[in-house]
Chain A
Amino acid sequence: MLIHADSLSKRYGSLVALSDCNFETKHGEILGLLGPNGAGKTTLLRLLLGYLKPSAGRARIDGLDCYRQSVAVHRRLAYLPGDARLFRHLNGRQTLELFARLRREASLARSLKIAERLQLDLSRRVRQMSTGMRQKLALAVALTPDVPLVILDEPTANLDPTVRRDVAELIHETRSEGKTVVFSSHVLPEVEDVCDRVLVLSGGRIVDSVRVSDVRRQHRIRATLTGPLAPPPASLAAALEITHHANGEAVIVTRGELTPLLGWLAEQPLGQLQIEPIGLRAVYERHHRGGPS
C-alpha cells in the first residue's frame, strides 16, 4: 500500500475538521476525494503532506509517517495546492528552474515539455499571469518530479474546458507511469472520468468509498407499469432494488451488469421505459442534499 491512513483525525478546539479517517491506496491507482466545501478534503491532503499535526491517528506514505518524516515523505510525492501561488516576481521559466533545482527527482526538461503542452508563455512574469495560467504553471511544477505519488487539490479549478481535458490526459499518463494520484475536485463528471476509486467525505468523515467502474455499471430504470411485475430471477434479485410509486411508476436500480437483466425486462408490462446510468451524482446525493456541478 502506498498511502495508509489509520483513524486519522484533526480537531481545532471543538471544531472537528476530520474524524476517524481510514483508507488505503494501492500503487498506480487514481483516488478521488469528493465532498462539498468543509467536508475535510483539504484537511486530509494537508495531513498527508505533514502540514498539519494529526490530533489522533496517523497517516503513512510508503511506510513513512507523514508528520514526523515529512521530508522523506516529500521525496516520494508532488503536490499541487488548490490555490497555487508562486513567486510573483519570477517569470514562468525561472519558476520551473527554481523548483527543478529544489529536488533531485525533478528535471527542467520535463517541466518545459509539460509547460509547452499546456501552452504556457514562460516569458511572462507570474504577477502578469491570469489565474488559469498560474494554475497551469503550478501544474507543470507538480507533474514534473518522478515520484510515486502525486497529490492534486482541485487541479482544474480556474481552467477552461480544453485545458481541463489536457489535465485529465496528463493525470492518466501519470497513472500509466505507475504513479498513484490523489485527486480532489468538486466536478463530478471530471472525477468520474479520471478516478478509479472515490472517497466521499461529509462533515469531516469518509462516508462512502466507491469504485468508479462499479458505479458505471449501475443503472436506474424508470417505467410506467401497465400490469404487475413478475418476480425477477433469483440470480438477479440480489442485485436489484425495485420501488413502486403511487403514480404507477416503478424505479429499478441495478447494482451489477445490465445485460442479464434485459431479457427479464423485455417480458415485463412496462411502458415509457427510460434507462440511465446512475453515476457519481447519485452516490454524492445519497450523502449530500443537492449536488455540485
Chain B
Amino acid sequence: MKRVLLIRSLRDSELLLAGCATLAFAFTWLRIWVASHIQVDAFVKFFSESFKMLQELLPVPVADLASPLGRVAFSFEEFGLVLLLGLWTVARGSDCLAGRIGAGTMEMLLAQPVRRFTLVSTHTLVTLLGVIGIASAAWAGVAAGLRFSKFEPPPTLATVTPAVLNFISLGVFVAGAATIASALCRTRSAAVGAVVGFYIVEIAIMVVARLADQFGWMGWLTIFSAYEPTMLTLSVQRDPAAGWTLLWQYNGCLVGLGALLLAGSAAIFCHRDVPAPL
C-alpha cells in the first residue's frame, strides 16, 4: 500500500474528520449532561400511559430507557450522532470512486504505476479510521458527560462499550454502502442520492416493522434491526454472557455486510471502465 496515498487521503479529509469528531464529542457530552438533569419519573409514567403505540418505536421499554445507563446509551441512537456518522461515511464513500472520477483526479492517479485496488483500499482505510475516530470522540464525550453528570451513581464508561462498538459497526456498513454506490454510479451526486435514498427506505421499513405486528417480518429487510446500541448495552449489563453473544451477532451482521460491500466495490472498480471526467 502506498504510504503517500494514505497520507494524501488523510489530509484530504482532515477538516471534515476534525469537524465530525468535535461535534460528536460535544453532542454526547452535552446530551448526557442534560439527560442527567431531567427528572424522568413523571415523564415515564405519562409516556407509559398516554403513548402506548409510540413505545413500540423505542428500542427498549420506557422504564429501561429512563435508567441512567439507558439514557447514556440512547445517545448513540440520537439523530444528530447518527447523522454525523452518515455525513462522514457517505462523503468519503461517495468520493472514493465516482467522486474522484468525476473530479478528474482519478485520471491522473491511475496513470501512475498504482494498482486500482490500492487506490480503493487506501481511501477506504482512512474512511474506516475516521469511523473509529468519530466513535472515539463520542466515547470521550460520554466520559466528559458522565464526569459532570448528576447521575447517582453514574454508569461507568466501560458499560457503554457495546453501544460504541455497535456504532462503529454501523459506520462500517454505511461506508460499504456508499463505496459500492460510488463504484456503480458515474457521478458523486448519483452515489450520494442512492445511499441517502437507501437510508430513508431502511428507516421507513424499520418504523413499519416496529409499529405493526403483522409487518414484523420486515425487520429482516432493514439494516437498522442490527443497530440497537441501547438494547445491546442494557443486555450486556444484565447478562454479560448472553449480551456479548447478541452483540457479536448484531455487529457481525453489520461489519460482515459492510466488508462484503467494500470487497464488491473493489472488485467492480478493478474491472470497470474508467470514463473521462465530466
Instruction: Assign chain B's interface to a size class.
Output: 20 to 34
A85 touches B108 (CB 8 A): yes
Q: A53-B271, A85-B277 are in contact. Are A98 and B104 (CB under 8 A)?
A: no
- Chain B proximity mask over A219-235: 1 for CB below 8 Å, otherwise 0: 00000000000000000
CB under 8 Å from chain A, chain B span 150-206: none
Task: Kindly report which residue of chain B lies nearest to residue A77, judged by CB atoms.
Answer: B111
CA distance A67 to B11 in the complex (A): 31
Residues of chain A lying within 8 A (CB to CB) of residue B113: 71-72, 74-75, 102-103
Indicate whether A165 reaches chain B with its CB closer than 8 angstroms: no
- Tell me, rounded to whole Å, the shortest Cβ–Cβ distance linking A213 to chain B: 31
CB under 8 Å from chain B, chain A span 58-94: 71-72, 74-75, 77-79, 81-87, 89
Residues of chain B lying within 8 A (CB to CB) of residue A141: 108
Residues of chain A lying within 8 A (CB to CB) of residue B108: 81, 84-86, 99, 138, 141
How many residues on chain A are close to B (CB under 8 Å)? 29
Indicate whether B221 reaches chain A with its CB closer than 8 angstroms: no
CA distance A53 to B5 in the complex (A): 25
Q: A49-B111, A52-B274 are in contact. Are A84 and B4 (CB under 8 A)?
A: no
A79 touches B4 (CB 8 A): no
- Chain B proximity mask over A99-112: 1 for CB below 8 Å, otherwise 0: 10111000000000
Indicate whether A51 reaches chain B with its CB closer than 8 angstroms: yes
- Chain A proximity mask over B84-126: 1 for CB below 8 Å, otherwise 0: 0000000000000000000111011111111100000000000
Indicate whether A42 reaches chain B with its CB closer than 8 angstroms: yes
* Contact pick for A74, options B103, B107, B112, CB 8 Å: B112
- Tell me, rounded to whole Å, the shortest Cβ–Cβ distance linking B100 to chain A: 10
CB under 8 Å from chain B, chain A span 189-214: none
Indicate whether B45 reaches chain A with its CB closer than 8 angstroms: no
* Contact pick for A86, options B2, B105, B110, B274, CB 8 Å: B105
Indicate whether A281 reaches chain B with its CB closer than 8 angstroms: no
Q: A51-B273, A51-B274, A75-B113 are in contact. Are A101 and B4 (CB under 8 A)?
A: yes
Residues of chain A lying within 8 A (CB to CB) of residue B4: 98, 101-102
Q: A53-B271, A53-B273, A71-B113 are in contact. Are A102 and B2 (CB under 8 A)?
A: yes
Number of A-B contacts (CB under 8 A): 67
Indicate whether B8 reaches chain A with its CB closer than 8 angstroms: yes
* Contact pick for A81, options B8, B104, B115, CB 8 Å: B104
- Tell me, rounded to whole Å, the shortest Cβ–Cβ distance linking A96 to chain B: 12
Residues of chain A lying within 8 A (CB to CB) of residue B8: 87, 98
Q: A85-B107, A102-B2 are in contact. Are A71 and B271 (CB under 8 A)?
A: no
Residues of chain A lying within 8 A (CB to CB) of residue B112: 74, 99, 102-103
Residues of chain B lying within 8 A (CB to CB) of residue A42: 276
Indicate whether A27 reaches chain B with its CB closer than 8 angstroms: no
Residues of chain A lying within 8 A (CB to CB) of residue B2: 102
- Chain A proximity mask over B256-268: 1 for CB below 8 Å, otherwise 0: 0000000000000
- Chain B proximity mask over A132-173: 1 for CB below 8 Å, otherwise 0: 000000100110000000000000000000000000000000
- Tell me, rounded to whole Å, the shortest Cβ–Cβ distance linking B45 to chain A: 55
Indicate whether A46 reaches chain B with its CB closer than 8 angstroms: yes
* Contact pick for B104, options A51, A71, A84, CB 8 Å: A84
Task: Kindly report which residue of chain A lies nearest to residue B274, judged by CB atoms.
Answer: A51
CA distance A142 to B112 in the complex (A): 10
CA distance A142 to B115 in the complex (A): 18
A85 touches B104 (CB 8 A): yes
- Chain B proximity mask over A228-264: 1 for CB below 8 Å, otherwise 0: 0000000000000000000000000000000000000
Residues of chain B lying within 8 A (CB to CB) of residue A87: 8, 12, 105
CA distance A72 to B112 in the complex (A): 10
Q: Which of B12, B104, B109, B112 is most buried by chain A, counting CB atoms within 10 A of its CB?
A: B112
Q: Which of B12, B104, B108, B109 is most buried by chain A, counting CB atoms within 10 A of its CB?
A: B108
Residues of chain B lying within 8 A (CB to CB) of residue A46: 274, 276
* Contact pick for B273, options A52, A71, A78, A102, CB 8 Å: A52
Of all A-B residue pairs in the complex, the 8 with the closest CB atoms, nearest first, are A85-B104, A79-B111, A51-B274, A74-B113, A75-B113, A101-B4, A102-B112, A52-B273
Interface residues of B (CB under 8 A from A): 2, 4-5, 8, 12, 103-105, 107-115, 271, 273-274, 276-277
CB<8 Å pairs between A and B, sample of 10:
A51-B107, A51-B110, A71-B115, A81-B107, A85-B103, A98-B4, A99-B108, A103-B112, A103-B113, A141-B108
List 15 additional contacts besides A81-B276, A87-B12; criterion CB under 8 Å: A51-B273, A51-B274, A52-B273, A71-B114, A74-B112, A74-B113, A81-B104, A87-B8, A98-B4, A98-B8, A99-B108, A102-B113, A138-B108, A141-B108, A142-B111
